[in-house]
A and B are shown apart, each in its own frame.
Chain A
Amino acid sequence: MQSEYFITSRLDDNVLSLDEDQFKELKRVRKRLSSAYAITHKFRLVNANLQMVLDAMSRLGRLYVDQAGSEALETAKPHLNACVNNYVLSARIFTSQLKRHVQACVPQERDLTEALTRQMEKEYRLSFAYRFVDSLYDYVSQYGISIHTLMLESLAEEDENGDIFRRYSLKALVEKDYIGGPAEFRVSVFEEVEEQINLIDVLSEFNESVNRLHDYAMDLVKIATDESNQLISEFINVFVAEHGKEHNNLFVVHMTSALKNKIYDKFPISMYANNHNMEREYV
């Protein structure tokens, strides 16, 4: 059985042949880059979920202030709860897989992964918000609820003409009494919880930790991803030089040239170079 390796596109039958070493090299760099991408994609997901929480809060506040009917309010409340739950779950996806992604990017450099571990432990140690949101994942997965109480306040003031105007504020609260006892929540964190937690404050502060960890992880893998990006770009350029620029979705194939031409392996490469949706150069 003879193996064949090549780069091709969906567009037509043009190929760029590869030898086995080149195939393995491309496979390695694709793994590195897809891992780096995963870190950033998941981070953007977490950020987007936080924005959705804030938007849902604003919307609920507006509905309340505008004296919208029960139906509108009773739809907006579970919507807000869903946004908070989504944030917590996506944050867990990010933190629980971060080390794995860094490791996949720099498999030979254990000291880099260890540096990340220390950084994550530091965030946990120094930030109550980090500890709390991390613990909230189990609570939310179990009970499907995060917000126990909404507090809407409206403080009245008089303007120069003696007319009254109001400033509204809205808080989403987690209540210690509704959580219950230490069996329902990570014990060490439960003991730190005061009567009420302002959820938005805690989520925002937690998000700053996520931000720091993302930037730290991306710095750790920068050299590896720069090199990988360069290599992939080189191969893409060779293909394009031979077959033309319109091939913007290339993938690498490992196939047998035996009777049934079976494809053993196939993976995309174009998406890892020239991705204009990513802010940083290397992804």
Chain B
Amino acid sequence: MKLSLPIISESDPLPFHYRDLISINFRQFTMWLMENRMPDDSYHVVNVTFPWTDSARIFNQKDRHNMLPHAAKSMVADINDLLQDSACVVICAQISKLFCEIAIATPESHLVHTLLEEMDCPKDFAVPVLNDAALTPSQFVAQHRD
């Protein structure tokens, strides 16, 4: 007796792998960039943490957090738009009941800081905290994938 799940094409063309953990009091959706698109380890990683607003948290709770994966993918798409003319790229994102974290690989950290300052704070989130992760892109992804 085997379990079969569909192989889907087209409907979700983001070049990321996904993992969704749905637990009793815990929901976490992680996405990480496909290996063939990852920048090399000379790049730095800036981690941007967006906290959910209180009202958004209440709404999420009512919806049993089932929209979290979609919210993460939207955020990644929006930020990639912002980064498109730069050498920066989103390598990883993780969303939970409290935060949405986006990890951006960049040749120079200050590029990300500058670009994000021009961004309007997305609806449902409060002002983000940026920090420079002391990890290479591949190390960062490895840590979040497991």
Contacts and interface: CB of A to CB of B under 8 A. Distances in A.
B18 interface: yes
B64 A155 contact: no
A74 B64 contact: yes
Interface string B17-48: 11111111010000000101000000000000
A164 B1 contact: no
Contacts of A152: 18-20, 22
B interface SS class: loop
Interface residues of B, number: 30
B13 A163 contact: yes
Interface in A146-164: 148-156, 158-159, 163-164
Nearest to A200: B3
A58 B4 contact: yes
Contacts of B3: 54, 57-58, 61, 170, 200
Contacts of A267: none
A159 B36 CA distance: 13
Interface in A37-67: 50-51, 54, 57-58, 61-62, 64-65, 67
A155 B17 contact: yes
Interface string B59-100: 000011010001000000000000000000000000000000
Contacts of B16: 156
A149 B34 contact: no
B8 A65 contact: yes
B146 to A, nearest CB: 12
A2 interface: no
B36 to A, nearest CB: 8
Given A154-B17, A164-B14, A58 B24 contact: no
Contact of A167 (B2, B7, B13, B23): B7
Interface of B: 1-10, 12-24, 26, 34, 36, 63-64, 66, 70
Interface of A: 50-51, 54, 57-58, 61-62, 64-65, 67, 69-70, 73-74, 77, 148-156, 158-159, 163-170, 175, 178, 200, 204, 207
10 contacts: A65-B6, A69-B66, A149-B26, A151-B21, A154-B12, A163-B10, A165-B7, A165-B9, A167-B7, A168-B5
